[in-house]
Amino acid sequence: MIPNYIREMRLSDRDELYAIVTASLDEEYLPDVFYAFSESWPEGQFVSCDFSGRPLGLICSARLADGGIRIMLFAVSPGCRGCGIGTKLLERTLMQARMEMRRYVTLEVRKENMRARAFYSRFGFRESDPLDGYYNDGGDGVRMILFLS
């Protein structure tokens, strides 16, 4: 167990978050991706950090015009996985979505990422669409959705 707490993302987190994302996700992202998310949807960006304030994981979500939320980035530092940090980050995002009275939360995940798919299923996400060739390397994805109301 790694002591940690959830807080809103700060611009000063950028370098540490970028390191977590590049170590965790196959797609390429610009280092300023967090600025863009924070400027557009400040209510949707959360970080898990240790008690020195060092980020251990992040979750970034966008607000959609039809009343949904889309999770854009979700990763926990490789050495910190499997300790409940991802669960806390996702729970915080779902709580925020309910506070905003959003209709649903959706996300995309690699088809072969069975652990992540099982993780989302435990929260009630269901697979809604296959996403053939969705990723830049040609890999297939799956869209998952959780209806909140």
Task: Look up residue 3 and give its DSSP letter.
Answer: -
Stretch that binds ligand COA, among 1-9, 60-68, 81-89, 126-134 (CB under 6 A): 81-89
CB of 125 to ligand COA, least distance (A): 10
> Residue 28 to residues 9, 33, 108, 117, 127: CA-CA distances in angstroms?
20, 10, 15, 21, 24
Q: Does 85 bind ligand COA (CB under 6 A)?
A: yes
Q: Does 135 bind ligand COA (CB under 6 A)?
A: no
CB of 73 to ligand COA, least distance (A): 8
Of the candidate residues 94, 109, 142, 146, the single one contacting ligand COA (CB under 6 A)? 109
Residue closer to ligand COA, measured from CB, 20 or 38: 20
Helices 14-24 and 33-40, axial angle in degrees (round to 10): 110
Of the candidate residues 118, 136, 138, 149, the single one contacting ligand COA (CB under 6 A)? 118
Q: Does 139 bind ligand COA (CB under 6 A)?
A: no
φ/ψ of residue 138, rounded to 5: 90, -5
Cβ neighbours of residue 12 closer than 8 Å, sequence gap 6 or more: none
Q: Nearest Cα to 87, choosing from 35, 46, 53, 28?
A: 46
- Count residues near ligand COA (CB under 6 A): 19
Using an 8 Å Cβ cutoff, are 140 and 111 in contact?
A: yes
Q: Does 86 bind ligand COA (CB under 6 A)?
A: yes
> Residue 32 to residues 36, 47, 93, 104: CA-CA distances in angstroms?
7, 16, 21, 27
Q: Does 55 bind ligand COA (CB under 6 A)?
A: no
Contacts to ligand COA by CB under 6 A: 24-25, 74-76, 81-87, 107, 109, 113, 115-116, 118-119
